[in-house]
Every structure is written in structure tokens, then in C-alpha cells.
A and B are shown apart, each in its own frame.
Chain A
Amino acid sequence: MLLIHCPYCDDTLPELEFAYAGEAHIARPEDPSKLSDEEWRDFLFIRTNVKGVHAERWRHINGCGRFFNALRDTVSDRFLTTYKAGEARPDTTDLEAAV
């Protein structure tokens, strides 16, 4: 079982308490009606599907209930770090080098 660190609880807890919630840092366009169909499609459906470090949202649904962001390596399934919603993606070059 994966152990995930919740930045709000400040505790590392079993994966069963968490729910995955898709890719992180996807901002909804300010004025959707000005977008072309292709741009709107890209916002709704097109995701990066990275092989490597992926920024993704998780929710501590069976705990504090908060959404937060995590950086996870999609190859090794290792969580590099987690951070609160609204914070910028942290620089993890040193963490990646340590893998």
C-alpha cells in the first residue's frame, strides 16, 4: 500500500484514505466563450500523460477532506512530495536525482 503525506494533516497516511483527482495546475479559462472549439477541447480532455514526474491532485476524502497536490513518478509510483492546493509546483530536481 502506498503511504501519502497529507500537507494539511501533516501526517503520512495509508492510500485507502485518499482519492485521486486528476492532473494538477489546470486553470479554467477566464472566458470560455472566447475560446475556439479546439482550445476548449484541450482544456476539457487533453492531458499531458507524462512518463516520469506528474503533478496531480489528491483528496484526503476519508480524513480532513482537503484537496492537495502531489508530485508522483508515474514509472516508480514514488511520491516525491505533496503540497497544499494553490501553491506553486515545487522544484524537485534534487529529489529526482536521488531516485
Chain B
Amino acid sequence: MSAAVRTPARAPILPMLVRQTWAEFLKLWRVPAFSATSLLLPVVFYAFIGLGQAAQPLFRGSHITFGAYFLASMAVYAVANVMIFSFGISVANERGMKMDLLMRATPLPPLVYLLSRCITAIFFAALTLAVLFPFAYIAGGVRLDASEWFTLAYRVLLGSIPFIALGFAIGYLAGPNSTIAVINLIYLPTAFASGLFFPKQLLPQIIQNISPYLPLYRFGQLGWDAIGAPTSENITTDWLYLAGYGVAFFAIAAWAYRREESRKFS
């Protein structure tokens, strides 16, 4: 078979990954319920809660402004939000529309598919920062060193990886129609309990006791530390906590994925 010799037997991976990533991006971009809320909601929260006292010191005698502190909070909120929702929504949609069956029959390697969605989520997360950072700079008058901006950005992007797995797991565990409700039910209350909207000290004592064990709280610590605000522990502890949650979430996601696979494709 000369034809088989002349043409490659499989499509090259890189163009496939680029196409798939572009498609995944368009799928999310064209759902305003996702794209508009992920890009604009953190800015709106920042305007409502942060702007009024942006220039005030975080506490008496601190050189850190509330504006900078709340920027870190919203950066963490925005990025984790994108990770959980983009994965939750795409997995749920795909299951709901039986898209997964057709994709399974194509020569698309599952890993390329997964990677394309990770890249899309991280790109979207970076996009939310690209909206939030200038807003905080211009409207909130937040001034940070170049290294602080950079540290904040890379920490929130890197630290958000466990939340990819969480979104993935919820997408497979919840029904296709209830995924968004389940995510809201989990995400918003834990964002409050982790002190992303109001400093932890203002929360009820019982919540304060729980919050150190919440992944979003640990994630928040990384953000606050990046802009120089004092945190309760060394950030290595926070990284370790997040890594632990990451492993646990990935294990749950893998289990949920395999459960779905064996149910559908056995």
C-alpha cells in the first residue's frame, strides 16, 4: 500500500491541540452566563466592596492598603471560579448532550482533549486577571512592585490547579442539569467562609474554626502573602495543603470519570 507509506497514519498532535483548545475557548466564550460572569463579577465585587476603602490601611499602622488586600482576594476568587465552572460546565454539557460518545469514537487522544480544556481554563483565568488588575490599578489606586504583581499572578494561576480537578469531579458526580447549582452551593459559601469577601475575623467563631481547612482559604493565603499582607502561617504550609487537596480532588475526579466510563462504555 503505497498510499499508507506516503501519508502519516495519524494526525499530528500539535495542530489537533490548537484546534481543540480554540474550540473549547469558543464554547465557553459564547456562553455569556459563563464568560461575562467570570470576567465581570470579580470587578463588580471589587467596585462594591473594595473601592470605598481602597486607600485605607489594612489595619492600623499597616503599609498594605485594603485595596491591595482585596485585589488579592478577588484574584483568588476569580481564578478558582473559572477553574471550577469551566470544567464543571463543559463536563456536564458534554454528558447532557451525549457529546462524549461521539468524541470517544474519533481518533482524538483523551489526553489531548483534557489538556485543551486545562489550557482554555488557565487562559480564561489569565483573562480575568487582565481585567481585574488594571481595574484595581486605575479605579482602586493599587500600587504594587512589578515583582508583587507577577508573584500574585503566577501564584493564583498555579494554585488554581486543584480546583480544575474539583470542577471535573463535580461535573461527573452531579447530574448534567444540576452541576451549576451544586457548584454555586459549594463555591460561594466557602468563598465567604475562607475570608475572600470579608476578613476572617468578622466571621462567626465556628466558621473561623473551620476556615483553615478550606482549600480556598489556603489559596487566599497565597494571594495575600504575595502582596505583602501578613498571613497566619508560612506559605509553604499553604502550598502543601493545596497540593494535598489537589491530590485528593484528582483522585475523586479520576474515580468519578472511571465510574462514568464503566457505566457507559462497558
Question: Do A and B truly interact?
Answer: no
Using CB atoms and an 8 Å cutoff, list the residues of chain B in contact with chain A.
none
Using CB atoms and an 8 Å cutoff, list the residues of chain A in contact with chain B.
none
